[in-house]
């Protein structure tokens, strides 16, 4: 799936992040989320920006992680995944 949805450059950067953090670079975690949601943010200069919210666990104690995503409009491939600042 990475080869189909992620740019080659992002795959290389994720490999480095994963080695340094001992976790999955796409999810930024060692586990699998119980739910997820993606929200469109903006587009321009050939890119689309979105925020993915990952939910960890269930009920009132569920945690959330937000990731900033960037896609290239021309190729429709994801070219960037970063931790999103709190409140975004």
Give the per-residue pLDDT at 84: 84
C-alpha 5, offset from chain centre: 12
Given a cut of 70, the residues of the chain with pLDDT beneath it are 86-88
Give the per-residue pLDDT at 24: 92
Sheet holding 63-72, edge to edge: 35-44, 47-56, 63-72, 78-83
- 76: tokens are 């429709």
Kindly list the structural domains of the chain, giving each domain's residue range(s) and its CATH number in brackets, ordered by start: 2-83 (3.10.450.50)
- Asked whether the beta carbons of 41 and 49 are under 8 A apart, the reply is yes
Q: Cα(25)–Cα(81) distance, rounded to whole angstroms?
A: 8
| pTM across the whole model | 0.79
Give the per-residue pLDDT at 86: 61
Give the per-residue pLDDT at 9: 96
Q: State the virtual CA torsion across 88, 26, 61, 37 in degrees, nearest 10.
A: 60
Give the per-residue pLDDT at 87: 54
């Amino acid at each position: 799936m990475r080869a189909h949805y992620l740019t080659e450059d992002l795959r290389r950067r994720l490999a480095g992040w994963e080695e340094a953090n001992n976790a999955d670079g796409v999810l930024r975690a060692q586990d699998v989320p119980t739910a997820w949601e993606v929200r469109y943010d903006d587009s321009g200069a050939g890119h689309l920006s979105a925020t993915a919210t990952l939910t960890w666990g269930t009920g009132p104690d569920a945690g959330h992680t937000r990731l900033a995503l960037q896609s290239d409009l021309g190729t429709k491939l994801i070219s960037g995944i970063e931790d999103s600042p709190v409140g975004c």
